[in-house]
Amino acid sequence: MFQPSVPEKYVRLSDDELAQRIAACKERLGGRVCILGHHYQRDPVIQFADFTGDSLKLSQQAADQDEAEFIVFCGVHFMAESADILSSDRQTVCLPNIQAGCAMADMADASAVTAALEELAELTDAKVVPITYVNSSAADKAITARADGACCTSSNVRNVFQWALQPAGGGGAGADKILAIPDEHLGRNTAAALGFEEKACAVYDPHLPQGGLSAADVEAATFILWKGYCHVHQVFTVEQVDRVRADRPDIRVIVHSECTREVVAAADASGSTSQIIQAISEAQPGSQWAVGTEANLVNRLAQRHTDRFIRLLSDRPATCWQMGKIDLLHLLWVLDGLVAGEIINPVTVPADIAADARIALQRMLDIKAATGLTQ
Ligand code: 13P
Ligand code: SF4
């Protein structure tokens, strides 16, 4: 994506100067601007967020924002797209660095998703309904709505899968099979959490003809899993789980549902970013935790709860470099622009795509999220 360079005058500023000027811009803009920050953002950025949250909470915040003229999204591109779709027409969403994408979302190109639905329709007469993780393009979300599907996040994915499999007459989508896009691991972990065996899952590889599946493979599967993954959460391994337990036998291992099935099965609990935060925040002083999710969040939890032992599950860093593309420099650039009446890095989803994508997002928001972790 093309992005004009940050002007030279910002590049020379120190972090303190950047922070002071961001605070001054916020002061001047007042209620006209709302800054949303995903939990994986770095501390210097997250300190300026009016609301922090996981993907689900931030989608809801964007939908609930009726006062702010500008929503500045400190997250990645698909999140800013969702905010644009869910906010009102008079609001503008800006992504401070337009190049902050999501490698996993990019693994499910809209044309490949369309082709997959067509191929699956040739392989089976059963009703295949796409359930698309919000970590996806607006175009994927629109395709999902047109095929009777809905979006999900890691907070509500179990409920959305259950909704999809309920008969249409009973308020569900009447799916015989779910096409889970784009995270293979989230799909498999959710199928397991709902009590399905591994043999109920088949993997659709968009790089292979017919996804690498035969009609018999599709017939046997209830969950067809798009072969996509998050490189941040793939860093975690069963060996790391074994190692932290060998060091500290009382430690509890808690991981994000984007981790592999083996890691989730070896852990004590799994869930979304918010569910992990809630579990650790409610834990007893003295409790010990190894956490398998993005490092900025784990470090923040460790700083916030100094009476608990909290470490990253891996010794290797697990940081989302896409989220890291949002920094003080880009945040100041965008806010300074708004003060001067200039909109920098707006994210605008074309109206025809937005109309259908909104249906997929709204179906998700209408389905109540599970509150607990998967134990
Ligand atoms: P949640 O915010 O839903 O926990 O998802 C994590 C993630 O990878 C966001 O990109
Ligand atoms: Fe995408 Fe993974 Fe980064 Fe989330 S953590 S934005 S899924 S690459």
Q: Give the pLDDT of residue 170.
A: 87
Sheet holding 177-181, edge to edge: 150-152, 128-133, 177-181, 223-226, 201-204
% of the chain at pLDDT higher than 70: 97
Query: For residue 310, what are its two tokens?
Result: 């909290």
Instruction: Indicate the pLDDT class of residue 369, thresholds 50, 70 and 90.
Output: low
| Residues 260, 292 contacting (CB under 8 angstroms) | no
| Residues 81, 349 contacting (CB under 8 angstroms) | yes
- The CB of 154 under 6 Å from ligand 2? The reply is no
pLDDT mean over 230-248: 98
Query: Which carries the bigger pLDDT value, residue 71 or residue 66?
Result: 71
Q: What residues contact residue 317 under an 8 Å CB cut-off, 6+ apart?
A: 295
Model's pTM, two decimal places? 0.94
Q: What residues contact residue 164 under an 8 Å CB cut-off, 6+ apart?
A: 129, 131, 149, 150, 172, 173, 175, 178
Mean confidence (pLDDT) of the chain? 95
Q: Give the pLDDT of residue 213.
A: 98
Q: Give the pLDDT of residue 59.
A: 78
Q: Give the pLDDT of residue 26.
A: 98
pLDDT at 317 > cutoff 90: no
pLDDT at 55 > cutoff 90: no
Q: Please report which ligand is nearest the Cα atom of 323.
A: 2
Mutate to test the pocket of ligand 2, among 152, 230, 276, 319 (most ligand atoms within 8 A of CB): 230
pLDDT mean over 145-155: 96
**Helix, strand or coil, per DSSP, at residue 348:** coil
Angle ∠(353,37,130) on CA atoms, nearest 5: 35
* Placement of tokens 């698909």 in the chain: 78
pLDDT mean over 283-290: 98
Atom of ligand 1 nearest to the CA of 54: 2
3-state DSSP: the chain helix, strand, coil percent, rounded to 5? 45, 15, 40
| Residues 183, 228 contacting (CB under 8 angstroms) | yes
Q: Which residue has its alpha carbon closest to ligand 1 atom 9?
A: 55
Angle separating helix axes 184-193 and 157-165, nearest 10 degrees: 70
For residue range 323-341, what is the model confidence (pLDDT) as tens digits? 999 999 999 999 999 999 9
For residue range 157-213, what is the model confidence (pLDDT) as tens digits? 999 999 999 999 888 999 999 999 999 999 999 999 999 999 999 999 999 999 999
Half-sphere exposure of 133 (CA within 13 A, CB side): 29
Domains parsed from the chain with CATH numbers: 8-101+322-344 (3.40.50.10800), 105-231+356-366 (3.40.50.10800), 238-312 (3.40.50.10800)
Q: Which residue has its alpha carbon closest to ligand 1 atom 10?
A: 135
